[in-house]
Structure 1
Amino acid sequence: MPKKTKRKPVQAMEVTDGVDVSLLHRMIPCREKQIQDIYALMGEPWQHTVPSIYIYGHSSCGKSLVLENLMTCLEYPYVNVNCVESYLVTIIFQEILRGILDSCSKSSHVEFNLPKKCDNMNDFVRHLKEMMDVLCVEETVYIILSKADRLREKDPCLLAGLLNLQEQTSQNICVILEAQVTWDKFYGSVSGKAPCVVHFPSYTKDELKTILCFLRPSDASNDFYEQYIGILLSVFFIACRDLRELQHLARLNFPIYYAPVKNGIALESNHHKLWKNIEPHLRDALRTVHLGEVSSDEWTQLHYKHCDVDEETGVIAPFVGKERRSALGNVELPLYSKFLLIAAYLASYNPVKTDLRFFVKSAGKHKKTLKSLKKNERLSAHLKGPKAFPLDRLMAIFYSIVDDRVPPSVSLFSQISTLVSLQLLARVGHEDQIDCPKYKCTASLDFIQSISRTVEFEVMRYLFDFI
Structure 2
Amino acid sequence: MPALVEQPGYAQEKLAALSKRVLCRETQASTLLALLGEPEHYSYPSIFVYGHRASGKSHVTESMLQELELPHVVVSCVECVSSGLLLEQTLLSFFGPEAPALLPRAPSLSDFVRVYKQLRAESPSLQTHYIVLDRAEVLRDMEVNLLPGLLRLQELVDDNVSVILLSEIDWSKFRLNTGCLEPLLVHFPDYSKAELQLILEQDFHPLYSPELYSLFISILLGVFYSVCRDLRELRHLAALNFSKFCEPLGKGEAKESDTHKLWRNIEPHLKKAMQTVYLREVSSVQWEQQQLMEEKEAGALKGLSAYAHVELPYYSKFLLIAAYLASYNPARTDRRFFVKHHGKIKKTNFLKKHEKTSNHLLGPKPFPLDRLLAIFYSVVDSRVAPTASIFSQISSLVTLQLLTQVGHDDQLDSPKYKCAVSLDFIQVISRTVSFDIIRYLYDFL
Range into which the TM-score falls when normalised by the shorter chain: 0.5 to 0.7
**For residues 214 and 392 of structure 2, what CA distance do their matches in structure 1 show?**
63
Give yes or no for the alignment of 1:361 onto 2:389.
yes
Residue number in structure 2 paired with 1:40: 34
Which residue identity lines up with residue 115 of structure 1 in the other structure?
A: L
- The structure-2 alpha-carbon separation of the partners of 1:35 and 1:371, relative to structure 1 and needing over 3 Å to count, comes to closer
- State the 1:195 CA deviation: 0.7
- State the 1:141 CA deviation: 0.5
- The structure-2 alpha-carbon separation of the partners of 1:364 and 1:248, relative to structure 1 and needing over 3 Å to count, comes to closer
**For residues 273 and 418 of structure 2, what CA distance do their matches in structure 1 show?**
23
Residue number in structure 2 paired with 1:136: 124
Which residue identity lines up with residue 40 of structure 1 in the other structure?
A: A
Q: Do the aligned residues in 1 keep the contact of 2:407 with 2:415 (CA within 8 Å)?
A: no
SS of equivalent residue, structure 1 residue 198 = strand
- The structure-2 alpha-carbon separation of the partners of 1:131 and 1:282, relative to structure 1 and needing over 3 Å to count, comes to same
Tell me the TM-score normalized by structure 2. 0.67
Residue number in structure 1 paired with 2:252: 264
Give yes or no for the alignment of 1:374 onto 2:410.
yes
- State the 1:381 CA deviation: 5.9
Match among 129, 153, 158 for residue 170 of structure 1: 158
SS of equivalent residue, structure 1 residue 116 = coil
Give yes or no for the alignment of 1:28 onto 2:22.
yes
Which residue identity lines up with residue 374 of structure 1 in the other structure?
A: D
1:189-204 equivalences under 5 Å are: 189=177, 191-204=179-192
Which deviates further from its counterpart, 297-306 or 76-85?
Answer: 297-306
Which residue identity lines up with residue 263 of structure 2 in the other structure?
A: W
- State the 1:218 CA deviation: 1.2
| 1:356-384 deviation per Cα after TM superposition (whole angstroms, max 9, x unaligned) | x9994397999xxx99983499786669x
Residue number in structure 1 paired with 2:64: 70
Residue number in structure 1 paired with 2:140: 152
Residue number in structure 2 paired with 1:235: 223
- The structure-2 alpha-carbon separation of the partners of 1:121 and 1:239, relative to structure 1 and needing over 3 Å to count, comes to same
Residue number in structure 2 paired with 1:286: 274
- State the 1:250 CA deviation: 0.5
Match among 270, 281, 285 for residue 297 of structure 1: 285
Q: Percent identity?
A: 34
**For residues 11 and 129 of structure 1, what CA distance do their matches in structure 2 show?**
37
Which residue identity lines up with residue 231 of structure 2 in the other structure?
A: L
**For residues 212 and 177 of structure 2, what CA distance do their matches in structure 1 show?**
52
SS of equivalent residue, structure 2 residue 119 = helix
1:297-376 equivalences under 5 Å are: 297-303=285-291, 307=295, 322=301, 325=304, 360-361=388-389, 374-375=410-411
**For residues 12 and 208 of structure 1, what CA distance do their matches in structure 2 show?**
29
Residue number in structure 2 paired with 1:93: 87
Q: Any unmatched runs of 5+ in structure 2?
A: 311-365, 374-385, 395-405, 433-445
SS of equivalent residue, structure 1 residue 188 = coil
- State the 1:223 CA deviation: 2.1
Q: Any unmatched runs of 5+ in structure 1?
A: 1-8, 309-317, 332-349, 384-443, 457-467
Which residue identity lines up with residue 242 of structure 1 in the other structure?
A: D
**For residues 145 and 415 of structure 2, what CA distance do their matches in structure 1 show?**
54
Give yes or no for the alignment of 1:116 onto 2:144.
no
**For residues 166 and 365 of structure 1, what CA distance do their matches in structure 2 show?**
63
**Over aligned residue pairs, what C-alpha RMSD do you find?**
4.0
Which deviates further from its counterpart, 251-260 or 17-26?
Answer: 17-26
Give the number of aligned pairs: 344
| 1:195-243 deviation per Cα after TM superposition (whole angstroms, max 9, x unaligned) | 1111111111111111111111012222221111111111111111111
Residue number in structure 2 paired with 1:84: 78
Which residue identity lines up with residue 98 of structure 1 in the other structure?
A: L
SS of equivalent residue, structure 1 residue 41 = helix
Q: Do the aligned residues in 2 keep the contact of 1:46 with 1:140 (CA within 8 Å)?
A: yes
Match among 240, 255, 265 for residue 277 of structure 1: 265
Which residue identity lines up with residue 221 of structure 1 in the other structure?
A: S
- State the 1:12 CA deviation: 6.2
Which residue identity lines up with residue 34 of structure 1 in the other structure?
A: Q
SS of equivalent residue, structure 1 residue 128 = helix
Off by >6 Å, runs of 4+ in structure 1: 318-321, 326-331, 362-366, 370-373, 376-379
1:418-457 equivalences under 5 Å are: none
Larger Rg: 2
- State the 1:60 CA deviation: 1.1
1:375-390 equivalences under 5 Å are: 375=411
Tell me the TM-score normalized by structure 1. 0.64
